[in-house]
Amino acid sequence: MSKLKLMAMLGTEHPIIQAPMAGVTTPEFVAASAEAGILGSVGAGYLSAHETRQFIRQVRERTEKLIAVNLFVPEQVEVDPLYLRQAYEALQPIGKQLCLPFWEVPLSESEFDRQVQVVVEESVKICSFTFGLPDEKTVRLLKENDIYLIGTATTVEEAKLAEQAGMDAIVAQGSEAGGHRGSFSGELTLISLDELLRGIITTVQIPVIAAGGIANKEMTKNALSAGAQAVQIGTALLASDESGAHPLYKKAVLDADEGCTVLTKAFSGKTARGIRNRFINEMKEANIAPYPYQNDLTKGLRKAAAKQGKNEFMSLWAGESVHLSTSGNLKAIIERLI
Ligand SMILES: Cc1cc2nc3c(=O)[nH]c(=O)nc-3n(C[C@H](O)[C@H](O)[C@H](O)COP(=O)(O)O)c2cc1C
């Protein structure tokens, strides 16, 4: 598949994809990205099928441009109820600091298959995935409906698997990236974007999209010169006027110093990069349930922290280049990236 094909498929002015950021991307943000000449992506990972449909429709009320929908591929995870209890108890000291001696933990259920159905029914033309790859049946259904498929890989091995599974393009997610690692095969391996790009581009035939720590013109240029056909950018857009990030989250991004991010499983049970804060420090030695259980356990706490304006207990996902993030409207920020 040629470069022209990827750009033609994205239908954008610039070879840039607004990273899907579940929990942060709002319909206004996705539409503003699309209107600013980049591919807007709906971060639908935590949404129900119904919410996914509503979200897509709300974006379409604001733009006629093509958009992508990003889904979390569900994993089968068994958890010992006793361990889950211990993980809940490990969160008690944080609950106390938020004046929450007890909080409800409704366990989430993935509606992945129904979300896929929504993507088809709403005639979405681009669908991206993280945390794994869709199965054969799902790939067939999406392809029969002419939907362009983008997988996420954090290693060369995962990129090969994504190509074999029928993905049309791959996001190479370097270790610098903000948010969750998209890793799904083998041990968690941290590979810098430069190295990952080199490995993936020489191994697969399909177009590669570079993600992780890209925050200015030079970085965009470097990734494209290294052979990526587009870049996917998250953190650099987080503090934009249109972003749905909590005001305290935006402030933390704008105040961030170089080297302030760390990888942690404390919030969700899955490794993710964010700005180091008290929650991460206090949970260092604690029992942590596997994803998505830990995410369910901490949801009430994170909500309370946001409500109480305590960003020391909020998840402040951000990539290694967070210190380069700027405020302003999306269009102005994007113009500084190209
Ligand atoms: C707040 C936040 C949320 C994210 N949520 C998602 C998501 O829902 N789906 C996904 O595929 N990637 C998600 N990512 C990862 C991005 O797709 C991308 O890999 C990352 O933003 C690139 O690194 P950067 O943040 O340094 O630009 C998220 C990243 C951030 C910062």
pLDDT in tens, 122-149: 999 999 999 999 999 999 999 999 999 9
Closest approach atom of ligand 1 to CA 273? 31
Closest approach atom of ligand 1 to CA 318? 31
Q: Report the separation in Å between the CA atom of 178 and the middle of ligand 1, taken as the mean of its atom positions.
A: 5
CB-based burial, 80-98: b 16+ in 10 Å, e otherwise: eeeebeebbebbeebbebb
Prior bond of 15 cis (ω within 30°)? no
The per-residue pLDDT for range 208-267, each reduced to its tens digit, is 999 999 999 999 999 999 999 999 999 999 999 999 999 999 999 999 999 999 999 999
CA distance 193 to 223: 9
Q: Sorting pLDDT into bands at 50, 70 and 90, what band is 1?
A: very low
CA distance 197 to 175: 11
**Which pLDDT value is given to residue 9?**
78
Q: Which percentage of the chain shows pLDDT scores above 90? A: 94
CATH class of 3-74+110-245+326-335: alpha beta
Q: Sorting pLDDT into bands at 50, 70 and 90, what band is 185?
A: very high
pLDDT, the chain, mean: 96
Asked whether the predicted pLDDT for residue 194 surpasses 50, the reply is yes
The per-residue pLDDT for range 79-126, each reduced to its tens digit, is 999 999 999 999 999 999 999 988 999 889 999 999 999 999 999 999
Phi–psi pair at 68, nearest 5 degrees: -110, 155
Q: Which percentage of the chain shows pLDDT scores above 70? A: 99
Enumerate residues lining ligand 1, CB below 6 A. Answer: 19-22, 24, 43, 45, 70, 130, 152, 173, 176-179, 182, 211-214, 232-236, 317-319, 321
Place of tokens 């698997």: 161
Q: Report the separation in Å between the CA atom of 179 and the middle of ligand 1, taken as the mean of its atom positions.
A: 5
Place of tokens 């005639």: 123
Q: Report the separation in Å between the CA atom of 114 and the middle of ligand 1, taken as the mean of its atom positions.
A: 23
**Which pLDDT value is given to residue 4?**
54
What is the token pair recorded at 244? 């749905």
Helix (H, G, I), strand (E, B) or coil at 285: coil
**Which pLDDT value is given to residue 8?**
78
Mean pLDDT of 68-80: 95
